[in-house]
C-alpha cells in the first residue's frame, strides 16, 4: 500500500466531487418536480392521466439507467437534423445535459412512487378535519397533506438521493469527468486499481455519509411531535418559596 500515491490520488479525485454533486443535485431537483407531477397524475383517478404515468414508471424502472443514458446521448444523434431544426441540438449535443436529462427522467420514475406512497399515507381523518375547518384545494394541500406526506416520504427519498449520487458515476461512461471518471482514468494510467478504488470509494462514502446526516437532521426538524418534550427544569423562584 503506497500512501503517498493514495494521497495524490485523493487530491486528484476530489476535483471530481463538484461535478458529481452538481449532477446529483440537478437530477434530484428537476426529478422531484417531474415526480410530483407523475404522482399527481397517478392519483388523479383519471385513466387518461394515470395510464401514461404508470407506463412511464414501468419503462424507466424496468430498464438499466445506462441504456437510458445511451439512448439519449447516442440515440438522439440519429435525429440530429430534426433536433437542430427545433433548436434542441445545443442541448442534446452536450454530455452534461444528456446525463442530467437521463438521471432526471430516471429518478423521477422512482421518486414518483415514493411521493405517491407519502401522499397516500396521509390519514383521511386529518383531511376531513381540515375540510371541516373550511380548508380546501391548494390550502388543504399546502397546510395539511403536503407536510405530512413529506415527513412520511423523507426516509425513502433520502435513499433515492444516495442512489442518485451513486448513479452519477454512469455519466463517466459518456465522458463526464466526475469522481468515477477520474478514477477510471487514473487506473488506466497507473494500473493501481486497488489503491484508486479505496480512495474513490472513500470519497463516495464520505459524500453519502454527509447526505444521510443532512436527511436525518431534516427528519428530526420535521417531526417535533415525535420528540420527547424538553425537560422543564423546575424553577425555584424566590418569591414563591
Partner 1 sequence: MQQLSYFELVGFGPNGWGWALLTAAGMTIAVAICGFLAGSVVGTLVAWGKIGGNLVIRSLADGYTTVLRGIPDLLVIYLFYFGGSAALGAIGSLFGADGFIGVPAFVTGALAIGIISGAYQAEVFRGAYQVVSRGEIEAARSVGMHRWLMFRRIIAPQVLRYAIPGLGNTWQLVLKESALISVTGLVELLRQSHIAAGSTRRPFDFYLTAAVLYLLITWVSTYLFQRAETHSMRGMRRAS
Residues that bind partner 1 (CB under 8 A): 58-59, 62-68, 70-71, 74-79, 162, 166-170, 172-173, 180, 183-184, 187-188, 191-194, 197, 200-201, 204-205, 208-209
CA distance 230 to 227: 8
In the complex, least distance from residue 76 CB atom to partner 1, rounded to whole angstroms: 7
CA distance 51 to 47: 6
In the complex, least distance from residue 98 CB atom to partner 1, rounded to whole angstroms: 12
Q: Whose Cβ is closer to partner 1: residue 72's or residue 144's?
A: 72
CB contact burial 25-49 (16+ within 10 A = b; e otherwise)? ebbbebbbebbbebbbbbeeeeeeb
Q: Whose Cβ is closer to partner 1: residue 24's or residue 144's?
A: 24
In the complex, least distance from residue 59 CB atom to partner 1, rounded to whole angstroms: 7
In the complex, least distance from residue 185 CB atom to partner 1, rounded to whole angstroms: 11
Q: Whose Cβ is closer to partner 1: residue 105's or residue 144's?
A: 105
Closest to 65 in 3D by CA, of 114, 37, 27, 34: 27
In the complex, least distance from residue 79 CB atom to partner 1, rounded to whole angstroms: 7
- DSSP annotation of 229: P
Q: Whose Cβ is closer to partner 1: residue 31's or residue 181's?
A: 181
Q: Whose Cβ is closer to partner 1: residue 139's or residue 210's?
A: 210
Listing DSSP states for 118-173 in one string gives HHHTS-HHHHHHHHHTT--HHHHIIIIIHHHHHHHHHHHHHHHHHHHHHHGGGGGG
In the complex, least distance from residue 157 CB atom to partner 1, rounded to whole angstroms: 17
- Calculated CA dihedral for residues 67, 193, 179, 184, nearest 10 degrees: -50
Q: Whose Cβ is closer to partner 1: residue 209's or residue 220's?
A: 209
CA distance 154 to 118: 8
Amino acid at each position: 500500500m503506497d500512501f503517498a500515491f493514495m494521497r495524490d490520488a485523493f487530491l486528484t479525485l476530489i476535483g471530481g466531487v463538484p461535478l458529481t454533486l452538481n449532477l446529483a443535485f440537478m437530477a434530484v431537483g428537476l426529478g422531484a418536480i417531474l415526480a410530483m407531477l407523475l404522482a399527481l397524475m397517478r392519483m388523479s383517478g383519471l385513466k387518461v392521466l394515470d395510464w401514461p404515468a404508470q407506463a412511464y414508471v414501468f419503462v424507466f424502472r424496468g430498464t438499466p439507467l445506462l441504456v437510458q443514458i445511451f439512448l439519449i446521448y447516442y440515440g438522439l444523434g440519429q435525429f440530429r437534423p430534426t433536433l437542430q431544426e427545433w433548436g434542441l441540438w445545443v442541448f442534446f449535443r452536450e454530455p452534461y445535459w444528456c446525463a442530467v436529462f437521463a438521471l432526471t427522467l430516471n429518478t423521477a420514475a422512482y421518486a414518483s412512487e415514493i411521493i405517491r406512497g407519502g401522499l397516500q399515507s396521509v390519514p383521511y381523518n386529518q383531511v376531513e378535519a381540515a375540510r371541516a375547518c373550511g380548508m380546501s384545494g391548494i390550502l388543504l394541500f399546502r397546510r395539511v397533506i403536503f407536510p405530512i406526506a413529506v415527513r412520511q416520504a423523507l426516509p425513502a427519498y433520502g435513499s433515492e438521493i444516495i442512489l442518485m449520487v451513486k448513479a452519477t458515476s454512469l455519466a463517466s461512461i459518456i465522458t463526464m469527468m466526475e469522481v468515477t471518471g477520474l478514477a477510471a482514468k487514473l487506473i488506466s494510467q497507473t494500473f493501481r486499481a486497488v489503491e484508486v478504488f479505496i480512495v474513490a470509494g472513500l470519497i463516495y462514502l464520505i459524500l453519502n455519509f454527509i447526505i444521510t446526516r443532512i436527511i436525518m437532521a431534516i427528519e428530526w426538524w420535521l417531526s417535533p411531535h415525535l420528540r420527547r418534550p424538553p425537560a422543564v427544569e423546575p424553577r425555584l423562584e424566590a418569591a414563591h418559596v
